[in-house]
């Protein structure tokens, strides 16, 4: 699911030792507290934003071969360029 911090694991251990009534009380407290928080969603990207990001890079190469080679790191200059563009946004 997600990686739990040391602090969260410790809190969960302590919560497990509480009575059911205490756990309900804690849940009520957390629920009320979270209602006051603004939870920001990660901005989603539109597939159209990717249009033209890698024009003519395949140069006739099979798409799966291209992906495999990218994963091997055979195009480091492209990865650096993409990372710089992403950081500028």
pLDDT digits (tens, 9 = 90+) for 44-88: 777 777 666 665 656 677 778 878 887 887 766 666 666 666 666
How far apart, in Å, do the first and last CA atoms of the chain sit?
29
pTM confidence score: 0.40
Query: 3-state class of 33 per DSSP?
Result: helix
| Domain locations in the chain as residue ranges | 6-35, 47-88
- The average pLDDT across 9-13 equals 94
CB contact burial 44-57 (16+ within 10 A = b; e otherwise): eeeeeeeeeeeeee
SS3 content of the chain, % helix, strand, coil (to 5): 60, 0, 40
Whether residue 41 is predicted with pLDDT greater than 90 in this model: the reply is: no
With residue 64 as reference, give the H or E element that holds it.
helix 63-72
């Amino acid at each position: 699911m997600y990686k739990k911090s040391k602090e969260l694991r410790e809190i969960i251990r302590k919560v497990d030792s509480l009575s059911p009534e205490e756990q309900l009380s804690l849940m009520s407290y957390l629920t009320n507290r979270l209602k006051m928080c603004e939870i920001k969603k990660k901005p989603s990207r539109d597939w159209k934003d990717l249009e033209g990001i890698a024009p003519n890079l395949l140069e006739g190469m099979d798409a799966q071969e291209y992906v495999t080679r990218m994963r091997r790191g055979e195009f480091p200059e492209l990865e650096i360029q993409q990372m710089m563009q992403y950081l500028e946004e």
